[in-house]
Amino acid sequence: MSWETVIGLEIHAQLATRSKIFSGSPTRYGADPNTQASLIDLAYPGVLPVLNEKVVEMAVRFGLAVNAKITERSVFARKNYFYPDLPKGYQISQYELPIVGEGHLDIRGESGDVRQIGITRAHLEEDAGKSLHDRFDGESGIDLNRAGTPLLEIVSEPDLRSAVEAVTYMRKIHALVQYLGICDGNMQEGSFRCDANVSVRQRGAELGTRTELKNLNSFRFIEKAINFEIERQIEVIEEGGKIRQETRLYDADRDETRPMRGKEEANDYRYFPDPDLLPVVIDAAYIDALRADLPELPEQKCQRFQDDYGLRVDDAALLCETRPLADFYEAVAKATAADPQVAANWVLTNLGGQLNRDGLEISHSKVSPGQFAELLDALSDGTVSGNGAKEVFEAMWQGEGRAQDIIEARGLRQISDDTLIEALVDQVIGEFPDQVTQYREGKTKVIGFLVGKVMQASQGKANPGQVNALLKRKLDA
Amino acid sequence: MAYETLSAQRAALESGEVSSLDLTNEVLANIQEAQPTLNAFVTVTADRALAAAKASDQRKGADRRPLEGLPIAHKDIFCTDGVKTSCGSRMLENFTPPYDATVVSRLADAGAIMVGKTNMDEFAMGSSNETSYFGNVLNPWDTSRSPGGSSGGSAAAVSAGLVRAATGTDTGGSIRQPAALCGITGVKPTYGRVSRFGMIAFASSLDQAGTLTATAADAALMLDSMCGFDERDSTSLAAAPPDLVAGLGKSIEGLRIGIADCFFDDGLDADNEACVRDALAVFESLGATLVPIELPNLHLSVPTYYVVAPAECSSNLSRFDGIRFGHRAADADDLTTLYRRSRSEGFGPEVQRRILTGTYALSSGYYDAYYLKAQQARQVIRADFTAAFERVDLIAGPTTPTPAFGIGEKVDDPVTMYLNDIYTIGANLAGLPAASAPCGLVRGLPVGLQLIAPMLAEQRMLNALHQYQLSTDWHTRRPPALAGQPQ
């Protein structure tokens, strides 16, 4: 049996506005419960929603970035259901006329090919509050700080064919919304959430029944959850069973998906256009202005890094994963005389490694791009050796100062003066006549030994390249 | 102190003939005396009113505002900061809002003094004020009869002379119909003219705040302080409202008044019709011409309304779940029970009926056939009015098919009750300004004349009524006695 997996993702990105979508309450994360919920958020009798226009801008920017149709007249609709964290008893969302229509995003498939993933739509809606079931004895606490936070729900076509592809797509959207400045992508804080619709079928057959996986709040979990679900569904079908259309939660501790309890009855949401809000009407001029103002997108930047800086595609892609990283790199590349590929290596490996060790984001790097560029200059003009540069970088990270200062203070300056090196070379040639003879008799590898001796004589400070070149010249003469 | 109108009270205050404190004291005394009979008020705010009256009397000269020191009442559907707001319902019996509705704050900023919150049909659903949790309101003209609804309390209070102005709301006729049955002037402006912020929502696309007063001139005075854009209401009209008081006093020579057959159908009481026709003759004598028009789809009004309004209300009332405010059932062990009991206990039968109807109309498989269809019918009705207004400046007809009916007569037959609104609903569906003014008495009971105007033409409508009231005296008639004795 040849199985094919069909996956669609629904991503909820919290839009990075200062206030909520329909009220002026702040959207900051982490406040004490119910301190950021106004009368409007609490759905007091008589209150009315007023649209935060910034969310429209952000949604349109997203639509433009995924080549989507922008709906010039979109409508807010009420999605009616009862739950304590939904104060109005309905969620204001968009139903028949979402602000962003069909679009697409290209990703790199597992075999390196380009896969175009369709985006069905993206629409604006408000978030619900939070229910806390474990904090109070026998009761549930409702925190409405989050109620009314703006969300952009991004729905993909069921074009993804594996868990890896799904994660790739999700990462790309994750990077994109941050690039556009419309979402901070903080998955721990719930700013970026994902549900996956998963089904399996025989190649060429009709679509199978899908299940919806919720509670996926990290890239790792999504991959594991989807893979578990694929296995589970295949097993069920192969044993002659049927897949039940249901919502399942991913349990990270047990690495399995389980059906969600308590929401089994299908809700009839009774969508209708919200009579308290006007249709969102935007014109071509509005859209064009936003299009002109779009920042360089990851794709474009990645290509440009390859073209302008001659970077390998993999390195370019890594550097463009987030805008702060790409911006840091570019600032370094422009400021340094070093080779851009060298700069890329150092940013990715040395700086990247240090950030990881300290658990820091690049925006909190303890070395600025300018300072980093100075270090690379010292490396590239031979002032300091490769190892020396690593030592200098660590010292810079600890706050010891600028590259040049540290090099002097620690005496790390390479000896690059030909006269001095020549003197050392002559000295070593004098000291090890046997090896010299061996070299001249054809055992050229012994030059390494002699280079090592020169380095020793110079306490490691001689520029190895120059030593090698000078030695060779003298030995060959 | 028998000041017949708000304007007369105002003149007396300005001239110093009476102080706001004395006036307010008298108003409060009258309210207290009438309350056991009429039950027009849910809450009387005596202390606040007297304090405000005292403060008002201190204001002199340029400090005095358009409604300075005038006692008014607010329908208990408008949120009032620190004052219980019940919406006529057990669900909100314990609810004290922490904020004022825009209507309330604007009238207060204009100097008006709130003496209390008036009784109403529960959540504005009703045409007789018989669905209030706080008991029926009675018609001052005959206390065995209904004052109409849902703004029954406001209408009774003004009709009985307790206050000379009260706010109301009109979703399908809830200002105009009680105004007609109580012999006073009721005005519903263009949808969007008056902010709905703080006005507890029934049917969002139909609700509009307005006034109950003795005269059109009084209505203009009130509305000038109520109308205007409010950024807190997304459906609020940006267009600056006209100065309604300044717009009074123009001749109506040449005014074209449309008369449609559908307003003079078999359901219209013959005596009511006679009064209305007499009124139309007065308009002619003032220089207006009567023009026959057609509103061919107006018969769709009632069914359209009774799909749209319940649908919207079923959603608007979902927030009353016993969780954050309002009635919460005791001893509910799980969420579903809490919801079900709180709402079943908190809402009366008419409200429950409309929630169920509305939920059904929006439900999967029925949305297209009911709600969508009704919204399409609404467009057709609106188009009829637009076409008619190309040929006429106003449309006139009766406000209600009959005079005030007996308490208990219709309350058990919803459809018959709904048909009370047959002449008024069209204006709500089309968002048009409309008003009712007294134009006669039938068997001792008031009859109302309705005018409907094009969008934004409140000035034209109020002026026409004002001219009518300058030439007639129906608006000066008062209920014979206020002691619970039937006519």
ipTM entry: 0.95
Shortest CB distance from A49 goes to which of B234, B319, B325?
B234
Q: E strand or H helix at A76, and its extent?
A: strand A76-80
The whole-angstrom separation of Cα B133 and Cα B39 is 12
Distance from the Cα of A201 to chain B's closest Cα (Å) equals 29
Mutation for B interface: A44, A75, A142, most B CBs within 10 A: A44
Asked if A46 has any chain B CB less than 8 Å from its own CB, the reply is: yes
Asked if B235 has any chain A CB less than 8 Å from its own CB, the reply is: yes
Nearest to B391 by CA among B325, B294, B323: B294
B411 pLDDT exceeds 80?
Answer: no
Q: Determine phi and psi for B406, rounding to 5 degrees.
A: -70, 150
Q: Which residues are bridge partners to B269 per DSSP?
A: none
Extract the residue ranges of chain A whose pLDDT is less than 50: none
Cα-to-chain-centroid distance, residue B54 = 29
List the alpha helices (DSSP H) in B209-300: 216-226, 270-285
Chain A residues touching residue B325 (CB < 8 angstroms): 44-45
- Cβ atoms within 10 Å of B277's Cβ, excluding its own: 16
CB contact under 8 A, A80 and B318: yes
Asked if the bond preceding A218 is cis, omega within 30° of 0, the reply is no
Shortest CB distance from A278 goes to which of B199, B204, B234?
B234
Asked if B319 has any chain A CB less than 8 Å from its own CB, the reply is: yes
CB contact under 8 A, B199 and A271: no
Chain B residues touching residue A270 (CB < 8 angstroms): 315, 359, 362-364, 367
Asked if A217 has any chain B CB less than 8 Å from its own CB, the reply is: no
pLDDT value at residue B484: 38
List the alpha helices (DSSP H) in B363-437: 373-388, 414-418, 425-430
CB contact under 8 A, B323 and A87: yes
pLDDT value at residue B136: 97
How many beta-carbon contacts under 8 Å exist across A and B?
98
DSSP 8-state code for residue B475: G
Asked if B58 has any chain A CB less than 8 Å from its own CB, the reply is: no
Chain B residues touching residue A142 (CB < 8 angstroms): 323
CB A249 within 8 A of CB A257: yes
User: A323-356 burial, b if ≥16 CB within 10 A, otherwise e?
Assistant: bebbebbbebbebbebebeebbebbbebbbebbe
Q: State which residue of chain A sits closest to B358, comparing Cα positions.
A: A270
CB contact under 8 A, A48 and B234: yes
Distance from the Cα of B197 to chain A's closest Cα (Å) equals 6
CB contact under 8 A, A48 and B325: no
Shortest CB distance from A89 goes to which of B199, B205, B319?
B319
**What residues of B are labeled active site?**
75, 150, 174
B1 pLDDT exceeds 70?
Answer: no
Asked if B318 has any chain A CB less than 8 Å from its own CB, the reply is: yes
Among A411-420, B158-167, B332-341, where is mean pLDDT lowest?
A411-420
Chain B residues touching residue A51 (CB < 8 angstroms): 234
Chain A residues touching residue B327 (CB < 8 angstroms): none
Beta strands at B289-293 and B256-260: parallel, antiparallel or unpaired: parallel
A129-158 residues touching B, CB cutoff 8 A? 142
Distance from the Cα of A180 to chain B's closest Cα (Å) equals 29
CB contact under 8 A, B196 and A48: yes
pLDDT value at residue B111: 98
> Could you tell me the two tokens for A144?
């409405």
> Could you tell me the two tokens for A70?
């922008």
Asked if A272 has any chain B CB less than 8 Å from its own CB, the reply is: yes
All residues at 6 or more sequence positions from A108 whose CB lies less than 8 Å from its CB, including other chains:
A114, A115, A168
**How many secondary structure helices (H) and strands (E) does chain B include?**
15, 11
pLDDT value at residue B487: 29
The whole-angstrom separation of Cα B381 and Cα B375 is 10
Q: State which residue of chain B sits closest to A86, comparing Cα positions.
A: B319
Shortest CB distance from A268 goes to which of B234, B318, B363?
B363
Shortest CB distance from B232 goes to which of A44, A50, A275?
A50
For residues B266-288, average pLDDT: 97
Nearest to A10 by CA among A192, A163, A278: A192
Chain A residues touching residue B312 (CB < 8 angstroms): 275
Asked if B391 has any chain A CB less than 8 Å from its own CB, the reply is: no
Chain A residues touching residue B100 (CB < 8 angstroms): none
Cα-to-chain-centroid distance, residue B287 = 30
B485 pLDDT exceeds 60?
Answer: no
Shortest CB distance from A46 goes to which of B198, B321, B323?
B198
Query: Beta-strand (E) ranges in B156-227?
Result: 165-169, 185-188, 209-213
Q: Is B415 exposed, middle or buried (0-12, 13-18, 19+ CB in 10 A)?
A: exposed
Mutation for B interface: A48, A139, A144, most B CBs within 10 A: A48
Asked if B312 has any chain A CB less than 8 Å from its own CB, the reply is: yes
The whole-angstrom separation of Cα A225 and Cα B157 is 66
